């Protein structure tokens, strides 16, 4: 195949509508290249030949592949020619291919690169450092110009090895490994978006992923969190955990695929009568049937908001500590209630629901509520008095099962109980969630009458959100941890 054919074949594999708003890593292996060329009966050797030859549209021969790649970036203003993909992706894929054989031994990279090019292993490449221009351009194209419609490209920079490390950063986890991460999260009873230390996460991945992660990955995890490459890998996993909504396809005990959702609680608190009305809901995902699901031919629910189903008329209070699983009547979906002695609730307004909803991470300086088993109440009350603002126990006359207490607080100031109760840990990374709104397509364009709201997740209370258009500051409204665009927000313009 011609170089541009290879380029487009590789690009389409990584960037497409199914990857909308998903993280994309350009992890290219010989097996992948062989698979992409299978129907044309060509393999990785043909790809390398095309890389060395360059695109047939070039009449001029460049002195090396790096000059060719840079020339493709400026190919007759390819953006104005409306090419589907940047024409230099094939060369970035080749650079990653040269790194996919090593155990992150960057000192061997040049030797491997020259071997694939059929050149002397000691040869230097003075234009190699300029490949950073292509990585930056790809990031801008995928995330800004395409608005993440075909995926969000993640450029991993490892400081001690700025150029080679960036390439190895694409090879930390394969596509298949990223796909099975929810299985590991589920096996470890990790809640979506939950906080966990790097040390504990590494141990968990080794223990629960030993049979499903590549040996190369396990060896990197065993090298310890002081290894920069290990830290970068754990950051990817933390990002995937933060994006995971608890749903996904899992193998059942008999080997069939089932779709799994989380069960969570919503609550309405009658402050006058001190009655708490708790309801069970499904935390739904993109594969949740629009027509709804029935359970044991007794219960039924359907989508109510982007993230939650309508309430299910089932009492699970006896399972709060032990956990519970429920299957749909067709046996194709499974719903799981995670066991916990401390359940955290926040305002549901950010997700389009009235009342309170169960949440999996404590956010500083935001009102929250706790349902706590009496065996933990002493620790929680001590923490509330010393590390929270306006923390108090609320006497509930009706709605709580025996042995449980209800608390409210204006804000958490410190997360000193995070080791005993991970759900009471502040976020370890900064994340801005878009909640609600109606998208035009799969990217980040919204109808003006239904813009999204923004929820900031950060363990640093000094972190705030600002919005700009054309360098003009927007006056974002802020209440209960939710940022809202003003009514006069300009349309048909990018807001950053």
Per DSSP, the residues of 416-478 read: TTTTT-GGGPPPSS-EEEEES--BSSSSS-B-TTSPPEEEEE-S-TT----EEETTEEE--EE
Q: What's the total number of domains in the chain?
A: 4
Same domain for 122 and 218, yes or no, is: no
User: pLDDT at position 369, please?
Assistant: 97
User: pLDDT at position 63, please?
Assistant: 84
Per-residue pLDDT averaged across 293-313, rounded? 86
Residue pLDDT, tens place only, 401-450:
999 999 999 999 999 998 888 889 887 777 787 887 888 876 778 998 98
User: pLDDT at position 363, please?
Assistant: 85
Q: How far apart are CA 162 and CA 157, in angstroms?
A: 6
The answer on pLDDT for 49 being more than 80 is: yes
251 domain-assigned = no
Same domain for 154 and 284, yes or no, is: no
296 domain-assigned = yes
Per-residue pLDDT averaged across 95-111, rounded? 81
Same domain for 277 and 399, yes or no, is: yes
Same domain for 156 and 190, yes or no, is: no
Same domain for 8 and 122, yes or no, is: yes
Token pair recorded at residue 207: 């223990």
User: pLDDT at position 76, please?
Assistant: 58
Last residue of a domain, one of 244, 278, 294: 244
Residue pLDDT, tens place only, 355-372:
999 988 888 878 999 999
Last residue of a domain, one of 171, 186, 220: 171
Same domain for 167 and 40, yes or no, is: yes
Q: Is 312 left (phi over 0), alpha (psi -120 to 50) or beta?
A: beta
Same domain for 337 and 354, yes or no, is: yes
Same domain for 167 and 196, yes or no, is: no
Q: Which residues form the domain of 131?
A: 3-171
Q: What percent of the chain has pLDDT over 70?
A: 95
Same domain for 123 and 22, yes or no, is: yes
Mean pLDDT of the chain: 87
Phi, psi of 485 (to 5 degrees): -70, 140
Last residue of a domain, one of 220, 244, 268: 244
448 domain-assigned = yes
The answer on pLDDT for 105 being more than 70 is: no
Same domain for 406 and 262, yes or no, is: yes
Phi, psi of 405 (to 5 degrees): -125, 155
**Bridge partners, 250 (sequence order):** 258
pLDDT band with cut points at 50, 70 and 90 for residue 148:
confident
425 domain-assigned = no
Same domain for 468 and 342, yes or no, is: no
Per-residue pLDDT averaged across 136-155, rounded? 90
Global confidence as pTM: 0.74
453 domain-assigned = yes
Per-residue pLDDT averaged across 279-300, rounded? 82
Same domain for 275 and 392, yes or no, is: yes
Per-residue pLDDT averaged across 373-378, rounded? 95
9 domain-assigned = yes
User: pLDDT at position 81, please?
Assistant: 63
Q: How far apart are CA 271 and CA 289, in angstroms?
A: 36
Q: Does 106 or 452 have the greater pLDDT score?
A: 452
Q: How many CB atoms lie within 10 A of CB 426?
A: 18
Residue pLDDT, tens place only, 385-401:
999 999 999 999 999 99
For 326, 405, 484, 486, the CA distances from 95, given in Å and listed in that order, are: 47, 58, 43, 45
423 domain-assigned = no
User: pLDDT at position 59, please?
Assistant: 67
Largest CA distance in the chain: 83
């Amino acid at each position: 195949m011609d170089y541009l054919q290879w380029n487009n074949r590789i690009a389409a594999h990584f960037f497409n509508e199914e990857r909308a708003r998903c993280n994309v890593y350009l992890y290219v292996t010989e097996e992948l290249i062989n698979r992409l060329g299978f129907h044309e009966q060509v393999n990785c050797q043909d790809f390398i030949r095309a890389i060395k030859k360059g695109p047939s549209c070039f009449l001029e021969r460049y002195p090396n592949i790096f000059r060719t790649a840079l020339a493709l970036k400026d190919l007759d203003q390819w953006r104005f020619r409306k090419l589907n993909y940047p024409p230099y992706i094939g060369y970035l894929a080749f650079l990653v291919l040269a790194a996919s054989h090593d155990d992150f031994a960057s000192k061997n990279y040049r030797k491997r690169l020259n071997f694939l090019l059929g050149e002397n292993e000691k040869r230097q490449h003075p234009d190699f450092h300029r490949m950073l221009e292509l990585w930056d351009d790809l990031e801008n194209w995928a995330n800004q110009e395409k608005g993440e419609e075909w995926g969000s490209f993640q450029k991993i920079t490892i400081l001690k090895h700025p150029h080679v490390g960036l390439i190895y950063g694409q090879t930390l986890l394969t596509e298949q490994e990223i796909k099975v991460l929810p299985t590991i999260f589920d096996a470890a009873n990790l809640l979506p978006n939950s906080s966990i230390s790097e040390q504990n996460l590494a141990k968990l991945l080794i223990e629960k992923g030993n049979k499903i992660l590549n040996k190369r990955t396990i060896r990197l995890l065993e090298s310890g969190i002081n290894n920069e490459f290990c830290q970068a890998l754990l950051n990817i996993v933390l990002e995937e955990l933060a994006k995971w909504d608890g749903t996904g396809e899992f193998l059942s005990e008999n080997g069939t695929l089932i779709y799994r959702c989380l069960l969570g609680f919503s609550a309405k608190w009658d402050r006058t009568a001190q009655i708490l009305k708790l309801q069970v809901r499904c935390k739904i995902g993109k594969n949740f049937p629009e027509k709804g699901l029935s359970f044991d031919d007794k219960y039924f629910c359907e989508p109510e908001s982007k993230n939650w189903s309508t309430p299910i008329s089932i009492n699970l209070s006896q399972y709060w500590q032990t956990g519970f699983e429920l299957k749909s009547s067709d046996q194709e979906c499974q719903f799981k209630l995670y066991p916990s002695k401390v359940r955290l609730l926040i305002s549901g307004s950010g997700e389009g629901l009235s009342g309170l909803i169960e949440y999996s991470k404590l956010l500083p300086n935001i009102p929250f509520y706790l349902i706590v088993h009496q065996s933990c109440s002493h620790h929680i009350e001590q923490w509330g008095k010393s590390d929270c603002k306006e923390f108090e126990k609320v006497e509930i006359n009706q709605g709580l099962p025996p042995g449980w207490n209800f608390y409210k607080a204006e804000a958490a100031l410190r997360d000193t109980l995070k080791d005993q109760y991970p759900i009471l840990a502040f976020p370890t990374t900064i994340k801005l969630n878009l909640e609600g709104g109606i998208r035009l397509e799969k990217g980040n364009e919204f109808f003006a009458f239904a813009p999204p709201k923004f929820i900031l997740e950060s363990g640093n209370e000094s972190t705030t959100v600002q919005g700009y258009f054309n360098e003009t500051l927007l006056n974002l409204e802020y209440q209960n941890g939710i940022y809202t665009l003003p009514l006069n927000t300009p349309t048909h313009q990018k807001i950053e």
